[in-house]
Amino acid sequence: MILSDGEHRWRMGDGTGYFGVVRRRTAQKRGADFLAALVGKQTTCLRKLGGDRAGEVRFGRFLRNSGVTKEEMLAEAGLATGSRVGGRHVLVIQDTTELNFSGHVESKRGFGTVGNGLDIGFFLHPQVTLDAQTGGIIGLAGATVLNRTQRSKTHRRSRPITEKESRRWLDGVETAGRVLAEALEITVVADRESDIYEEFARRPTNVHLLTRAAQDRALTGGGRLFGFAAALAERARYTVDVPAKGGHPARKALVALGFGTVSIERPRNGADQTLPPQIALDVVDVRELDPPRGEQPVHWCLLTTHRVTSVTDAHRIVGWYRRRWTIEQVFRTLKGQGFAIEESQIVDVATLAKLATAALIAAVRVMQLVHARDGATAQKLADAFQIEDEPLIEALVRKLEGKTEKQKNPHPTGTLARVAWVIGRLGGWSGYVGGGYKPAGPKTMHYGLTQFDSIKHGWSLAQNV
Ligand SMILES: [Mn+2]
């Protein structure tokens, strides 16, 4: 079997070629090669990656012994993302997804349990970076891989597991501030699990927070947060789309928007008593007026360190929070056709964590292209590719364009949309839009990247002659 990142090609079969190359390279570069190799494969299911049983064994050994750690891969991804954020306001969406391998219970070693306490697996907790203005994906800032077997380690018993697990939210904020230091502004966006007093108290000075409230916190001077939010004056009224969920059809909801400033009190129990006793935050509350009977009413109570003093500010905050769906899409891509990470045949947890990390980085790259494909994110090629790739991309445009106007790449040179057109075409997309033709989705983009990486390999060989 051959792995390629478009730049290098290694034969796995003799067991020496790949490792011979690897030893001469820096750790970070190795991480990048490994990722590119992974993107170049259609699935993370080991049997398919390895080809046959013998190949499967070899690939498993490669993953275990390649010397590429998940930390190196994440550092590499973070470095690339950090280099793209200069002068931009970025949203960093963080959330947790559960990888469940209960389909292979008997074969797995070293696993912890996932949410239901019985199945085996672990959690991935990434920080996905977006342009705040357009929503275009810039890349991965970092991620935590959490294996719950840590529960049983004696020396950790002194601290409750819930506290250790909630640490990932604080770590994510710290990572964002460090890795994306070149950004004009950083706003970390997260759901209710991230409503942690310490997170607000310890945020780095260059990071803003936007979190959905989970706790009905005591306010300075009396009263509670949820009562305060419910009593906010209505400042605007508008209609939102509520997507279909669990047997409930999609519907429209009329909502009222309110906002105000609060000072939340340090919790009496649980919180580190050296933290500041109060924190000033702004609240944006979106509440459905007249929810239909039997439907879950729309209600978001958002807490932010940004100042909110106008209806425009409040709408902006809600808009940023709604960008959270991007991370849900990354998770769906990771688990869906193409990557199928939960179907991996790898039996030991350290190797699988490595593979999951690589697949996560690749899934973010795939979603970058999906989001950029219609030009709405107005991104440059450099948000996902190397500037040196441009001559090859232009050669591919010429090769793939048809004779009619409809078959031409409609996007300007140097844009990510132009590259997404190429990658989509390489993945099997017809090139047509509208009239029943579907645009290129994650599976097509993933396959297109495979093709691109092998073409790039051939291209760089030709340039070197
Ligand atoms: Mn969540």
- Å from CA of 195 to ligand 1 middle: 11
- Å from CA of 324 to ligand 1 middle: 10
Contact 359, 44 (CB under 8 A): yes
- Å from CA of 281 to ligand 1 middle: 22
* CA–CA dist 201, 305 (Å, integer): 10
In the 8-state DSSP scheme, what is residue 294?
Answer: T
Count Cα neighbours of 115 within 13 Å in the Cβ-side half-sphere: 7
- In the numeric block, the tokens 């190196």 are attached to 72
Instruction: For residue 185, count CB atoms less than 10 angstroms from its CB and return exposed for 0-12, middle for 13-18, buried for 19 or more.
Output: middle
Token couple for 212: 């959905």
- Å from CA of 243 to ligand 1 middle: 18
- Å from CA of 194 to ligand 1 middle: 8
- Å from CA of 328 to ligand 1 middle: 9
- Å from CA of 143 to ligand 1 middle: 14
Distances (CA, A) of 328 to 96, 128, 130, 277, 332: 10, 11, 14, 35, 6
Token couple for 202: 């310890």
Give 85-143 as a DSSP string. -BT-EEEEEE--EEEE-GGGGGG-BS-EE-TTSSSEEEEEEEEEEEETTT--EEEEEEE
Distances (CA, A) of 455 to 14, 359, 370: 24, 21, 20
φ/ψ bin of 110: left (φ > 0), alpha (ψ from -120 to 50), beta (otherwise): left
- Å from CA of 191 to ligand 1 middle: 6
**In tens digits, what is the pLDDT along the chain, a chain of 465 residues?**
233 333 333 333 222 223 223 333 444 444 455 555 555 554 555 544 444 455 555 556 656 666 778 999 899 999 999 999 999 999 999 999 988 876 665 556 666 666 666 566 788 999 999 999 999 999 999 999 887 654 444 444 445 556 777 899 999 999 999 999 999 999 999 999 999 999 999 999 999 999 999 999 999 999 999 999 999 999 999 999 998 988 899 999 999 999 999 999 999 887 788 999 999 999 999 999 999 999 999 999 999 999 999 999 999 999 999 999 999 999 999 998 777 778 776 667 788 888 889 889 989 999 999 999 999 999 999 999 999 999 999 999 999 998 888 889 999 999 999 999 999 999 999 888 878 889 999 999 988 987 898 888 787 777 765
- Å from CA of 157 to ligand 1 middle: 25
Based on DSSP, count helices (H) and strands (E) in the chain, helices before strands: 14, 13
- Å from CA of 67 to ligand 1 middle: 32
Could you tell me how many residues make up the chain? 465
Distances (CA, A) of 77 to 81, 138, 176, 221: 6, 11, 13, 45
- Å from CA of 127 to ligand 1 middle: 12
Residues near 374 by beta carbon (within 8 Å), at least 6 away in sequence: 417, 439
- Å from CA of 190 to ligand 1 middle: 7
- Å from CA of 341 to ligand 1 middle: 19
- Å from CA of 404 to ligand 1 middle: 46
In a 3-state reduction of DSSP, which class is residue 228? helix
Token couple for 351: 């190797």
- Å from CA of 98 to ligand 1 middle: 10
- Å from CA of 95 to ligand 1 middle: 5
- Å from CA of 73 to ligand 1 middle: 24
- Å from CA of 346 to ligand 1 middle: 26
Which pLDDT belongs to residue 64? 66
In a 3-state reduction of DSSP, which class is residue 427? coil
First to last CA, the chain: 25
φ/ψ bin of 340: left (φ > 0), alpha (ψ from -120 to 50), beta (otherwise): left
Token couple for 128: 């996905």
- Å from CA of 448 to ligand 1 middle: 30
- Å from CA of 162 to ligand 1 middle: 15
Distances (CA, A) of 396 to 374, 417, 455: 18, 14, 10
b/e map of 218-228 (b: 16 or more CB within 10 Å)?
bbeeeebbeeb
Token couple for 297: 């009413």
In the 8-state DSSP scheme, what is residue 236?
Answer: E
- Å from CA of 193 to ligand 1 middle: 6
What are the respective helix, strand and coil percentages of the chain, to the nearest 5? 45, 20, 35
Instruction: For residue 105, count CB atoms less than 10 angstroms from its CB and return exposed for 0-12, middle for 13-18, buried for 19 or more.
Output: exposed
The number of angstroms, rounded, from the C-alpha of 65 to the middle of its chain's C-alpha atoms is 27
- Å from CA of 374 to ligand 1 middle: 28
> What's this model's pTM, rounded to 2 decimal places?
0.84
Phi and psi at residue 415, in whole multiples of 5°?
Answer: -95, 155
Within the chain, what is the greatest distance between any pair of CA atoms?
76
Quote the Cα angle for 344-347-353, to 5°: 70
- Å from CA of 94 to ligand 1 middle: 8
In a 3-state reduction of DSSP, which class is residue 190? strand
* Beta strands per DSSP E along 2-44: 2-4, 9-11
